[in-house]
Structure 1
Amino acid sequence: MKNDIIGLIGDNGAGKTTFLKIIAQLIPIDSGESNLPFQEKIGVVFDQLPFPGNLSIYELEEVLKRLFTAWDPTQFSYYIQLFKLPIDTPVKNFSKGMSMKLNIAVSLSHRAQILLLDELTSGLDPIVRIDILNLIESYVKENGATVVMSTHILDDIDKIATKVVLMHNGKFILQKEMRDIPDMYYLEKSFKEILDKQGEYN
């Protein structure tokens, strides 16, 4: 799975975010076993900031240095400058796009082996969106990482994913290599056909 970017798609309530939280070891699994790396090796980018809102980036990094043994301050500084994020402003005052950029900067600065991205480009303008996708793709190639990317934006899947997984009602109902998918319409059609068979498509 190294160097894989897995696009995770499905209807609302399919279980995508729950699945990512299980991998991130944020919620327990009901049954079965998991073989995951230490939590420190997992980078998480969810829709909301998981950090105390009263902290600035400068103050937050002091916490992150102690939290992650592989923390790379030079890399973090690079991403903060790249994203033009203010280091002295409480993060609770960040816009949605700024918060997402901070999440990404943190996840890429402690050498995560697995990146879990939930609606990564939500709230980002088109140009920044493309830059972020390129950044994730480069990180995977340079670090031999694995990405699981949940998104409703099929263009994001089309641009950087190597595999796609379709979820419905908490189950994986379609798994394919991107090279076997001719276009995104094929993916939409496959999803509709699966739901039609189950009598769940309106």
Structure 2
Amino acid sequence: MEKIKILALSDEFTLYCLNIIEYSENANDEIFEIAKKVKGWGRVHTIPYLEVTNNEIKEWILEEGCHNEVVPSYTALTCAKKINLLEILNEENISSKRFNNISYLVDALLDEGPVIGISALENREMLIEKYLEKAKYLSSSENDYLTVMMIKEYIEDSEDINNDFIKICDEILTSEKAKNNIKELMKKGYVFPDELIEKHGG
């Protein structure tokens, strides 16, 4: 088993090893350790096997579950379901750092080019609503503002999502707070789409 766990750290073999490790003693703990160490396809394959049995795993999935060297959207839907993303968005006190992690996950959910994401969630409209409620006062990073833009584009392309959310997205993106934050982020080298820069007279 020790040799299998070592072999699992190679992205090419992770999936095959997981099929053995999942039946071992303390399987979930072992899978969690592997998930933290692999970065490519290994992480993509590991996330579905990982059960949220404690808060440490839940927070790690929020922070790192979509961070891989392949495509973030490959694990976005699985991560959102495992940690109950809507439940997290319903929490009263969310730090800016935690909200940034949420933004990264929502952004990955919205990227449905390679795989289905947010469209597969039954509560997607409520999730968007709760996210935008938090974004009004928690947005501060590049991820946050780009995610709001992605939400706006997603709603514009959807026939069954409340169009009122578009107005909320615009209010967030054109606010004085957004203007100041985006200017500061650009000074640090962050790049934003021309559409967003033009909103602020850039």
TM bucket normalised to smaller: 0.3 to 0.5
More helix by share: 2
What is the TM-score of this pair, normalised by structure 1?
Answer: 0.32
More strand by share: 1
Q: Which has the higher relative contact order, 1 or 2, with Cα contacts under 8 A spaced 6 or more apart?
A: 1
